[in-house]
A and B are shown apart, each in its own frame.
Chain A
Amino acid sequence: MRPVAIIGIGKTAFGAFPDRDLRSLAVEAGQKCLADAHVSPSQVEAYYLGNFAGPSFVGQNHLAPYIAGAMGITGVPATRFEAACASSGSAFYHAVSSVAAGLNDVVLVAGVEKMTSQTTPKVTEILAGAGDTCGEVRAGATFPALFAMIARRHMYQYGTTREMMAAVAVKNHENGAKNPLAHMRKVITMEQALRGKPISEPLTVFDCSLISDGAAAVLIAPLERAAEFTDKPVKVLGVAQTSDYVALDQKDDITTFQAVSSAAQKAYKMAGVTAQDIQFAEVHDCFTIAEIIATEDLGFVKKGEGGPYALAGCTRLTGPLPINTSGGLKSKGHPVGATGVGQICDLVYQLRGEAGERQLERHSLGLAQNLGGSGATAVVTILGVA
């Protein structure tokens, strides 16, 4: 296998953009990414696109060649990947595989979602399509409901509290307020987070990520060719994707995501590092409880200690292990198909020393964790300065 590098990144702002369509968002991210690497569309050898529900949200199918063509990229494999909220994490995993295998050299990987043109009940229904529509969804489960049931069980087994979950939201808003591309750039207080409107008990609106529009893109190439394109290459040290059952009621223990643990173990092994070596991470905080569980499943803390770790401030910018310096899905926004590649871009900003007010002092080894559904797909990526 050939070592792979990230040679360019590009993101749109995340937010509610009534005058932007899906294609224009994806094109903007792709063009920014190509410009960042000084690469022309004719040099791109494949286009891998993560998108969860373009056909349901905006009625458009055949998305990958549709967007590639709009950027002047034709005559190459252009393919859409769908793995719920891990769609573009999955696109990234498969793109890295193709470059590592020697099938392609310069590959553009992107993610996009356009969600805000639908009403919230309709968005809730479309997102529920990532669950088991013959079981839990038919009974009335929404994604907030599934994660609320996960939260209840985590509280029951480990004594996790609503304050611990709220601490995740407060911290992510604190970070997102400093991110110029974030959807909701405002700080919130613990009091506000605890008194938010109930969505699915015990989760309030402040435990839930945002419904957003947005796109992100990264350009990858063999590490040995990276210097042709950039003087700031980032090395893909490890990447793994694994799966689990879609239905929550089929899992033995819903307080852990087996797919995350197994993907993390594979990625650590590939990178030759341990959880304790990771300096910062972008994790999939679709709900506050998901960030707490991620810190446990990734091996940063022992099982059941994710809540107290968050409440103690250990994951803040000033803490020993900063998590979601971008603001996370909670504050940065969660255009679901764009989230996986968006997380990779956010790691790259830190690794290159371009994170502005959020820049960390230790920034040579970072991890991204992207989750699909209630844990049926997980992608873990470890990046380092080359």
Chain B
Amino acid sequence: MKSGVVYTETVVHAAPEQFVADAPYQLAIVSLEEGGRLTARIDGERVVIGDRVDFVEDRNGIAFFRKA
């Protein structure tokens, strides 16, 4: 399972047309343990920079992570 650390994050209130129903949602750039970074959605509890997160699942091509 992929894990990583939150490099940066935001909570999106003004969403693009296709994600209006999801807003507000948290988006983060995760520094992966295996190397590299990934832009992902955060499931559940809000995270801040430095938090450890684990991969949850892929939904419609979007990676979801959750606070470890």
Contacts and interface: CB of A to CB of B under 8 A. Distances in A.
Given A140-B19, A140-B41, A149 B14 contact: no
B10 A148 contact: yes
A152 interface: yes
A5 interface: no
A294 to B, nearest CB: 19
B49 A156 contact: yes
A378 B41 CA distance: 29
> Which interface residue of A120, A135, A145 has the most chain B CB atoms within 10 A?
A145
A145 B8 CA distance: 11
B37 interface: yes
A201 B11 contact: yes
A137 B15 CA distance: 11
Interface residues of B, number: 28
Interface string B46-59: 00010000000000
B61 interface: yes
Interface in A216-249: 247-249
A215 interface: no
Interface in B23-62: 25, 27-29, 37-41, 49, 61-62
Q: How big is the A interface, by class? A: 35 or more
Contact of B41 (A120, A128, A139): A139
Contacts of A276: none
A149 B12 CA distance: 10
A247 B38 CA distance: 10
Nearest to B39: A136
Contacts of A148: 10, 12
21 contacts: A121-B14, A121-B20, A124-B15, A125-B16, A138-B61, A139-B27, A139-B41, A139-B63, A140-B27, A140-B62, A141-B12, A142-B12, A142-B16, A149-B9, A149-B27, A152-B9, A156-B49, A198-B13, A199-B13, A200-B12, A254-B29
Interface of B: 7-20, 22, 25, 27-29, 37-41, 49, 61-63
Minimum-distance CB pairs A-B, first 10: A148-B10, A125-B16, A136-B39, A121-B17, A249-B37, A149-B8, A153-B8, A201-B11, A124-B16, A125-B17
